[in-house]
Amino acid sequence: MNLNRASIPDLAVLQAFEAAARHGNFTKAAAELSLTQSAVSRQVRTLEVLFGVPLFERSRQRVHLSVAGRQVLPGVQRLLAQSEELVVKARSAVAADGRLSIAALPTFCNRWLMPRLPTFLASRPGLTVEIASRSAPFDLHEADVDIAIHFGQPVWANATCTYLCSEVILPVAAPALARPGDMRTAGDVARLPLLHLTTRPMLWAEWFRACGTGDQVAYRGSRFDQFSTVIEAALGGLGAALLPTYLIETELASGALEVILDLPMSTENGYYVVLPDGRRQGSAGFEFQEWLIGQVRRP
């Protein structure tokens, strides 16, 4: 169904409805919006006439959302949030010499990318970055994202994946839990409490099999849904963890975590830089891709 533009409510009307719903009071909504109480009431009434249903149940001192009002409110809140985002992006574009929108895996972003990002920005004064945490493919064009960092296979609709690096994992633990000299075989590691990443439940089993050890004990232990939480659990001495070394560079350098058995395993997936189709050379996204590849190849 296509609506006439005149049938679409003004943002001011939606703001009045949302504020009244949040406060449960037209007077408080009016104070927030610098309007009179009667103006808020008129705007809400305009919306009720447009929708053809009452949005509030009115009592002496307060107003309460009707069933229809409760159904409408989430959509109105999304529209207002999108409008605010549009204004912020437009103002940022005017104030800056350029914008780079990046989507990256949360732990990779926080632990590997963020310490290195100032180096990239230092040679590009005026460039601003927007970083969103994303763990699965999405429509880069629709989301207006310049570049994504993806872990998995090089498959992404309407985009080009460029290989960045493989993933090599090692068993690590806090020194209080286990010292490298105490761990001579995978069987020794098997006697420790094991920490698991929920989204990759077979990781310990695969490592034990790669070491030639049975995986009977590979599934016991605590489970966490983010690598960052697994790292914190390992730092706290809750158990041994299988972690990519690039995520724990600081902890390994300081000795807060130690590789307890030097038997690395490469996983079947890798990291890829993803550019939306049609992205030209010389764009901020393309420059960032080349910089990322250079960072990974550094000793």
pLDDT > 60? residue 257: yes
Beta-bridge partner residues of 147: 102
Q: What is the pLDDT of residue 181?
A: 78
DSSP-based helix, strand, coil % in the chain, nearest 5: 45, 20, 30
pLDDT tens for 82-93 read 888 777 666 655
**Number of Cβ atoms within 10 Å of the Cβ of 233:** 20
Q: Are the CB atoms for 219 and 201 separated by under 8 Å?
A: yes
Residue owning tokens 């849904």:
225
Which residues, in sequence order, are CB contacts of 288 under 8 Å at separation 6+? 100, 102, 120, 146, 147
Question: Are 32 and 152 members of one domain?
Answer: no
Q: What is the mean pLDDT of the chain?
A: 89
pLDDT > 70? residue 97: no
pLDDT tens for 104-118 read 999 999 999 999 999
Tell me the C-alpha distance between 164 and 267, whole Å: 14
Number of residues in the chain: 299
Question: Are 276 and 161 members of one domain?
Answer: yes
**Helix 26-33, helix 11-23: angle, nearest 10:** 130
Residue owning tokens 């230092």:
122
Q: What is the pLDDT of residue 89?
A: 66
Residue owning tokens 């180096």:
119
Which residues, in sequence order, are CB contacts of 89 under 8 Å at separation 6+? 99
| Domain residue limits at 198 | 167-267
Confidence of residue 95 (pLDDT cuts 50, 70, 90): very low
Question: Are 52 and 196 members of one domain?
Answer: no
Mean pLDDT of 244-259: 94
Question: Are 172 and 30 members of one domain?
Answer: no
Pair of tokens at residue 289: 């891709």
The CATH number covering residue 56 comes to 1.10.10.10
Looking from the CA of 162 toward its CB, the CA atoms found within 13 Å total: 17
**Helix 11-23, helix 37-51: angle, nearest 10:** 110
Confidence of residue 135 (pLDDT cuts 50, 70, 90): confident
pLDDT > 70? residue 239: yes
Which CA distances in Å does 48 have to 6, 58, 65, 104? 15, 13, 12, 42
Mean pLDDT of 228-254: 95
The CATH number covering residue 103 comes to 3.40.190.10
Question: Are 69 and 189 members of one domain?
Answer: no
If one counts the domains in the chain, the total is 3
Q: In a 3-state reduction of DSSP, which class is residue 223?
A: strand
Question: Are 86 and 10 members of one domain?
Answer: yes
Q: Which phi and psi (to 5°) does residue 52 adopt?
A: 80, 20
Q: What is the pLDDT of residue 103?
A: 96
pLDDT > 90? residue 202: yes
Tell me the C-alpha distance between 27 and 21, whole Å: 12
Question: Are 262 and 174 members of one domain?
Answer: yes
pLDDT > 60? residue 238: yes
Nearest CA to 252 out of 173, 167, 184 is that of: 173
Residue owning tokens 């016991």:
220
Tell me the C-alpha distance between 135 and 109, whole Å: 11
